[in-house]
């Protein structure tokens, strides 16, 4: 027998109007014997119609999503809506409150925890609630990401190339409507356990973003996030009004796009985000820090294109992703 989820919503998920509340997840601990994790949720509904599920802080140190979604929850007018908008601004709420990528409770990485477990860790229980209760309600899903404390990205909205061409087309049309300066046909290093994969396997239109990083946000990237969320809802015909047209350029992540450090040390970026790169160009140098007189290790591009992501902190460890090169798509 599959257990029911221990998560209890404090608001109705299927009633007209604006409802602000929590997903309450029982969490017994030293400082609260019968305590709970309280994950903020807002549902805006007006009649039957499609449902959009919008999430931020899947990783707790990424801020454009929460900034867009706390604002949207405060301002979305149900009279302008047909259908439902389910907003969870901070999906991994314990991680968001701690300002960390993973949960301080169980070290759970939300985007490696799907499909989750109703009797697992706190992070697995949240994933399970999305898997079995929230995702099945939605037709269209937007999960905001940025680089967090260790990466920085050229701002893009993305969807994956899927085995089903018609599904890919629908997702790429939603990415185009989002209207980030860059749009990505995305490749993952390892897609196992991702929320993206869970949604795609259910046949949902799923789009995501990488809007910046460094463990903070910028005025420009917050504007992109807010316009993008509204544009997506308009594209899905859930929010009234025309999509606010914004020019975008399409990128690809072909084989050879990722570069990883093989040494630890101090990183010297040799190119900045958005700059053009030819195959063989130096992307970064890693300086040994223990003595003078040692040359830096060079990390060279394996493909031509432009820099779409970089390691953010000034020190790097062996195995860290140092740079990602994207290509303009035809
Ligand atoms: Ca992320």
The DSSP 8-state label assigned to residue 155 in this structure reads -
242 CA distance to ligand 1 middle (Å): 29
Taking the centre of ligand 1 as the mean of its atom positions, its distance from the CA of residue 274, in whole angstroms, is: 19
**pLDDT digits 0-9 by tens, 124-163:** 999 999 999 999 999 999 999 999 999 999 999 999 999 9
User: Average per-residue pLDDT in the chain?
Assistant: 97
CATH number, span 8-251: 3.40.630.10
Q: 182 pLDDT exceeds 90?
A: yes
Is a pLDDT exceeding 90 seen at residue 28? yes
Q: Which pTM value belongs to this model?
A: 0.97
Residue 46's pLDDT is 98
- Rounded to the nearest whole angstrom, what is the distance from the C-alpha of residue 150 to the centroid of ligand 1? 10
- Whether 1 shows a pLDDT value over 80: the answer reads no
Distance 289 CA to ligand 1 centre (A): 29
On whether the CB atoms of residues 160 and 225 are closer than 8 A, the answer is: no
- Rounded CA-CA distance 116/258 in Å is 28
pLDDT exceeds 80 at position 320: yes
Q: Where are the domains of the chain?
A: 8-251, 254-328
In this predicted model, what pLDDT tens digit does every residue of 228-285 receive, in sequence order?
Answer: 999 999 999 999 999 998 999 999 999 999 999 999 999 999 999 999 999 999 999 9
Task: Identify the pLDDT of residue 329.
Answer: 92
CA–centroid distance, 320 to ligand 1, in Å, is 15
Whether residue 128 contacts residue 2, with contact meaning beta carbons closer than 8 Å, is answered with: no
**CATH no. for 254-328:** 2.40.50.100
Longest CA pairwise span in the chain (Å): 70
Say how many Å lie between the CA of residue 259 and the centre of ligand 1. Answer: 18
pLDDT the model gives residue 189: 79
- CB–CB of 14/47 below 8 Å? no
Q: How many A from CA of 99 to the centre of ligand 1? A: 13
Residue 98 has pLDDT above 90, yes or no: yes
List the beta bridge partners of residue 310.
Answer: 152, 323
Q: Which residues of 70-87 are buried (b: 16+ CB within 10 A; e: fewer)?
A: bebbeebebeebbbbbbb
Gap from CA of 1 to ligand 1 centroid (Å): 34
Over 90: is that where the pLDDT of 2 sits? no
Q: What percent of the chain has pLDDT over 90?
A: 96
> How many angstroms does the Cα of residue 143 sit away from the middle of ligand 1?
9
Grade residue 187 by pLDDT with cuts at 50, 70 and 90. Answer: confident
Q: Measure the CA–CA gap between 84 and 49, rounded to whole angstroms.
A: 7
Give 191's pLDDT tier (boundaries 50, 70, 90): confident
pLDDT tens digit sequence for 269-308: 999 999 999 999 999 999 999 999 999 999 999 999 999 9
Q: What distance in angstroms lies between residue 62's CA and the mean position of ligand 1's atoms?
A: 7
> Are residues 150 and 315 in contact, defined by beta-carbon separation less than 8 angstroms?
no
């Amino acid at each position: 027998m599959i257990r029911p989820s221990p998560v209890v919503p404090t608001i109705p998920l299927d009633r007209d109007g604006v409802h602000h509340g929590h997903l309450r997840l029982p969490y017994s601990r030293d400082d609260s014997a019968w305590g709970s994790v309280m994950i903020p949720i807002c549902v805006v509904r007006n009649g039957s119609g499609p449902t959009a599920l919008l999430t931020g802080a899947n990783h707790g140190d990424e801020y454009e999503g929460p900034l867009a979604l706390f604002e949207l929850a405060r301002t979305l007018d149900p009279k302008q809506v047909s259908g439902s908008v389910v907003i969870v601004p901070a999906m991994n709420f314990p991680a968001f409150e701690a300002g960390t990528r993973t949960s301080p409770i169980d070290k759970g990485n939300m985007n490696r925890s799907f499909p989750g477990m109703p009797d697992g860790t706190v992070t697995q229980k949240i994933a399970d609630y999305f898997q079995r209760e929230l995702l099945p309600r939605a037709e269209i899903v937007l999960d905001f990401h940025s680089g967090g404390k260790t990466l920085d990205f050229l701002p893009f909205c993305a969807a994956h190339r899927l085995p089903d061409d018609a599904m890919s087309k629908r997702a790429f049309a939603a990415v185009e409507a989002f209207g980030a300066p860059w749009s990505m046909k995305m490749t993952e290093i390892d897609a196992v356990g991702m929320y993206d994969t869970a949604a795609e396997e259910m046949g949902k239109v799923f789009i995501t973003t990488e809007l910046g990083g460094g463990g903070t946000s910028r005025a420009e990237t917050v504007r992109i996030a807010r316009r993008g969320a509204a544009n997506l809802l308009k594209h899905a015909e859930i929010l009234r009004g025309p999509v606010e047209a914004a020019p975008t350029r399409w990128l690809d992540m072909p084989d050879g796009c990722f570069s990883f450090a093989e040494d630890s040390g101090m990183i010297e970026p040799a190119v900045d985000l958005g700059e053009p790169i030819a195959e063989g160009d130096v992307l970064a140098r890693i300086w040994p820090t223990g003595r003078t007189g040692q040359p830096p290790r060079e990390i060279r591009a394996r493909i031509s294109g432009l820099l779409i992501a970089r390691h953010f902190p000034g020190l790097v460890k062996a195995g860290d992703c140092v740079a990602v090169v994207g290509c303009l798509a035809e």
